[in-house]
Amino acid sequence: MKTELTQQKSSLTERSVNTLSHLIILLPQDCLKAKSSQGWPALPHQGVLKQRLKRGGDEAALLTTDLPNKASTRVTLSGIKKEMARFELLTLARKLAVPHLAQNPTTVSITAVGFTDEEAEPLIKAMVAALLAASCDMPSFKSKADKPSKLRTIQVLGANKRIDFSRTIAEADGNNLARQLTTLPPNELTPAIYRKRIAKLAKAHDWKMGFLDQAALKRKKAGAFLAVSQGSTEKDAGIVHLRYTPKIARKQQTPLALVGKGICFDTGGTNLKPAQYMHGMHEDMQGSAVALGTFLALSQLKVPYVVDCWLALAQNHIGPNAYKQNDVVTASNGVTIEVMHTDAEGRMVLADTLVQAAKLKPALIIDYATLTGACHYSLSARYSGGFTNREVLIDEVISAGRNSGERVWPFPIDKDFDDELKSKVADVKQCTLTGEADHILASRFLQRFVDDTPWLHLDLSSGNSKGGLAHIPTDITGFGVSFTTQLLFDNDVLTKIK
């Protein structure tokens, strides 16, 4: 059941507060300090709140307490610094949501007092995003299932200006979908099962759906993709193609293409992973889940241009037919590839998928993949890596990351990195065996398959972050949906690239 958002202009009164079960109050931090000349804005139960806040020290500017009223209203009060970075604000919002959602309420109310309408809007949106993320029910297979979230209403109180939450909701829906899919165990999300789930979504949202199965990929000579999938006994791998078309599309607007790596389980292939590194490899399809979640968000927001979504669904299995080191295969654009390591399968399935996406000459391709350990070693799980063949996008990537709270940092992909990928028997090596700068080399490899199409590759090193990240409370973060909407809407990159 969807959570409803309501807005009321009326200011808080003691009588109205006494009817609430859960209330989050956001105030300028400066007004909470003992020596502040600004003073508290008018609030119901102000005396009680001041007294209880003082016990923890004014500088803490954070309080959770139950009011001494008939409803025992649980109140969280927090001071907000001016010009707080988006990541910091979202992280605080998650912290403020915890004491309320721990009681599994049906309704949570939010108010921002002492701010202008322009100042209050991003604060309230951050709080709503945190509540929507934390109240999302994740897949569970416990015999005694966790209680589902009862949150059905988020109330915004005292807002003079009506706030448009459509994008906040769409981003939350996309992120929640990505996290739910990525959480599913590998026996519950094989490529065949995944495709059925996608088909249901396509029917519900009126998306056009196609599927390039093994036979179709053989006809297209997609040898890079087929090399990975040939180790599976189940011949269910393939490339899903979704298309969203608005009722009224911009004239002469070429489509945006989203591409996702969907390795539903990665054993490492014949270069078998040890147990500690194979654990969690059902999450190796998170790139496809983020692409799909972003696609869902854009279609819900009814963007006025065509969007394609390409999902490379496969498993990297071992067996007598599995591909192996020193195999030479040919991708669908004619590039021959020498296999160096079977655990570098993601770039192989993406290669042929990017070729298919680029054939339609989109204005921009964005691909998402949990691709390399090197990117994680470089950035940790706090950031994801960005790689692009258009310099104009570099500053946009940094800006969109900062302003969305899903931080991305760009890496170089200069041509001389190709020296490391020279093969004696093929056009290119799949990777090197040293692992040095593998995130950069993987990007140089992938660039061969987009032709000259404007392209942004996201290596999702922050796809899993222990304890959550920003407003997301789960280890699996679904990172990338909000970053992409920021890039498209606020940074307007489709008008800036050539």
Rounded Cα gap, residues 6 and 442, in angstroms: 46
Q: What letter does residue 490 receive in the DSSP assignment?
A: I
Nearest alpha carbon to residue 192 among 235, 226, 137, 253: 235
pLDDT at 36: 56
- In this structure, the number of other CB atoms found within 10 A of the CB of residue 96 comes to 21
Set 347, 429, 444, 448: catalytic member: 347
Q: What letter does residue 149 receive in the DSSP assignment?
A: P
Active site residue 152: no
Rounded Cα gap, residues 64 and 168, in angstroms: 25
- Fold held by 4-164: Leucine Aminopeptidase, subunit E; domain 1 (3.40.220)
Strand partners, 7: 156
Q: State pLDDT tens for residues 310-357.
A: 999 999 999 999 999 999 999 999 999 999 999 999 999 999 999 999
Rounded Cα gap, residues 182 and 288, in angstroms: 9
Decide if 122 contacts 89 (C-beta within 8 A): yes
Set 52, 95, 221, 273: catalytic member: 273
The H or E element containing residue 127 is helix 117-134
Decide if 110 contacts 76 (C-beta within 8 A): no
Q: State pLDDT tens for residues 296-310.
A: 999 999 999 999 999
**What does the radius of gyration of the chain's CA atoms come to, in whole angstroms?**
24
pLDDT at 131: 98
The answer as to CATH 3.40.630.10 being correct for domain 169-495 is yes
Strand partners, 238: 313
pLDDT at 160: 85
- The tokens for 239 are 């490339």
β-strand pairing of 62-66 with 238-244:
unpaired
Rounded Cα gap, residues 262 and 127, in angstroms: 31
pLDDT at 306: 95
Active site residue 273: yes
> Which parts of the chain sit beneath pLDDT 70?
1, 34-38, 56-60, 249-253
Strand partners, 241: 210, 310
Burial class (CB in 10 A: 0-12, 13-18, 19+), 21: middle
Rounded Cα gap, residues 235 and 96, in angstroms: 47
Nearest alpha carbon to residue 109 among 118, 91, 117, 97: 97
Domain ranges of the chain: 4-164, 169-495
Sheet containing 307-316: order of strands: 208-212, 238-244, 307-316, 256-266, 364-369, 455-459, 384-388, 408-410
Query: What's the pTM value of the predicted model, to 2 decimals?
Result: 0.96
Which ranges of 230-367 does DSSP label H, i.e. alpha helix? 275-278, 286-300, 346-359
